[in-house]
Amino acid sequence: MLISPAFAQAAAPAGGGDFLSQISGMLPLVLMFVALYFIMIRPQMKRQKEHRAMVDALAKGDEVVTAGGLLGRVADLDDQYLFLEVSNGVKVQLQRHAVTQVLPKGTVK
């Protein structure tokens, strides 16, 4: 005959060893997720929270840098937008979240 007969394997004994092998198989996946959370997700959430607080604390007269690299003084504010005075008489309207950094007073001349 060309096909050999197949025999059923004996059933695995029921016991606690099976549960332990399942847990040890999932442990690396769980550890990788925990490491990813502490290395990437948590610091990003912290930066977003700090940026939101900085944008909410903007006031008229603050000197700022935008995401596009513009430096200027905040001339006017509303809920979503601000007017940035980049030179004498030159004002640019920007979204508030485009501000990346608040500079010390006297930096922009």
Residues forming a β-bridge with 60 = none
Give the integer Cα–Cα distance in Å for 103 and 69. 13
Tokens coding 87: 């030179």
Domain that holds residue 81: 59-109
Give the integer Cα–Cα distance in Å for 30 and 25. 10
Query: Residues 23, 67: one domain?
Result: no
The answer to whether position 67 is within a domain reads: yes
Query: Residues 53, 63: one domain?
Result: no
Query: Residues 84, 105: one domain?
Result: yes
Query: Residues 49, 67: one domain?
Result: no
The answer to whether position 47 is within a domain reads: yes
pLDDT in tens, 22-76: 788 888 999 999 999 999 999 999 999 999 999 999 999 999 999 999 999 999 9
The answer to whether position 8 is within a domain reads: no
Strands 99-103, 63-66: pairing kind: antiparallel
**1 pLDDT tier (thresholds 50, 70, 90):** low
Q: Model pTM?
A: 0.69
Distance of CA 86 to the CA centre of its chain: 30
Give the integer Cα–Cα distance in Å for 94 and 58. 13
Query: Residues 108, 67: one domain?
Result: yes
The CATH number of the domain where 81 resides is what? 2.30.30.100
